[in-house]
């Protein structure tokens, strides 16, 4: 049986080491231990975790996770990633008020975001996760470096005074970054601009 080290397992799941260890602490993934106490992971273990997490992610938010066969070709798919439900709700509400062409899905962490990128196929990601900026950078970097997902627009959300983090996310390929507390019109304008080509300029509030 081939066993992977922690870094290899994290790369296989497309998550950071910090996220891998958090998943272990939650009891969702239990690695083998070598006599020296090192973590080891089997491909079977990781594959089962992927399958289980994908099923949970697709069923956890029935109001937010839209079935792909119900989405029209003209819809703009927006994935909102943040660990704070209130922030997700605020962003979705603000964007719904700006246009009726948006369809939404949500994720609370980097791993769920990866699942939703595959299942929901967003045109744009609003990337929050204030408490896990390392995951934020990893998510953005993986999306932008993959030819199949590099077209997805990424808008990062940061707390005030995070200039270094903003520069880092832009280096990872983000298309725009906004600062909390969010200015609703600024958020609407950014998303409208980045999705203009998909909608052909047909947003409800554009004049």
Residue 205 lies in a domain: no
Instruction: Give the strand pairing for 3-4 and 102-107.
Output: unpaired
User: Each residue of 110-154: pLDDT tens digit?
Assistant: 888 988 999 899 999 999 887 666 788 989 999 999 999 999 999
Instruction: Say yes or no: 74 and 32 in one domain.
Output: no
Q: Is residue 165 part of a domain?
A: yes
Domain boundary among 13, 28, 60: 60
d(CA 46, CA 14): 11
Number of domains in the chain: 2
Q: Are 100 and 94 in contact (CB under 8 A)?
A: no
HSE of 162 in the Cβ direction (CA atoms, 13 Å)?
Answer: 19
Burial classification of residue 132, based on how many CB atoms lie within 10 Å of its CB (0-12 exposed, 13-18 middle, 19 or more buried): buried
Residues 54 and 156 in one domain: no
Same domain, 106 and 46: no
Q: What is the pLDDT of residues 73-117, one digit of tens each?
A: 578 999 999 988 888 999 999 999 998 899 999 988 888 898 899
Judge if pTM exceeds 0.75. Answer: no
Inside any domain, residue 33: yes
Q: Which domain holds residue 18?
A: 3-60
CATH of the domain at 11: 1.10.1660.10
- Report if residue 206 sits inside a domain: no
Is residue 45 situated within a structural domain?
yes
User: Do 88 and 179 have their domain in common?
Assistant: yes
Phi-psi region of 201 (alpha: psi -120 to 50; beta: other; left: phi over 0): left
């Amino acid at each position: 049986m081939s066993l992977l080290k922690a870094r290899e397992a994290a790369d296989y799941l497309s998550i950071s080491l910090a996220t891998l260890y958090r998943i272990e602490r939650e009891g969702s993934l239990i690695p083998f231990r070598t006599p020296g106490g090192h973590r080891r992971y089997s491909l079977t273990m990781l594959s089962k975790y992927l399958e289980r997490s994908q099923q949970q992610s697709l069923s956890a938010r029935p109001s937010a996770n839209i079935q792909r066969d119900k989405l029209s070709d003209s819809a703009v798919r927006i994935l909102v990633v943040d660990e704070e439900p209130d922030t997700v709700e605020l962003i979705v509400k603000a964007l719904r008020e700006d246009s009726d062409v948006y369809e939404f899905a949500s994720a609370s962490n980097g791993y769920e975001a990866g699942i939703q990128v595959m299942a929901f196929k967003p045109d744009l990601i609003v990337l929050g996760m204030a408490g896990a900026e390392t995951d934020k950078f990893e998510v953005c970097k993986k999306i932008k470096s993959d030819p199949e997902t590099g077209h997805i627009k990424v808008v990062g959300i940061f707390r005030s005074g995070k200039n270094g983090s903003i520069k880092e996310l832009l280096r990872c390929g983000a298309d725009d970054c906004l600062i909390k507390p969010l200015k609703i019109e600024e958020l609407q304008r950014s998303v409208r601009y980045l999705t203009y080509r998909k909608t052909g300029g047909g947003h409800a509030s554009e004049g």
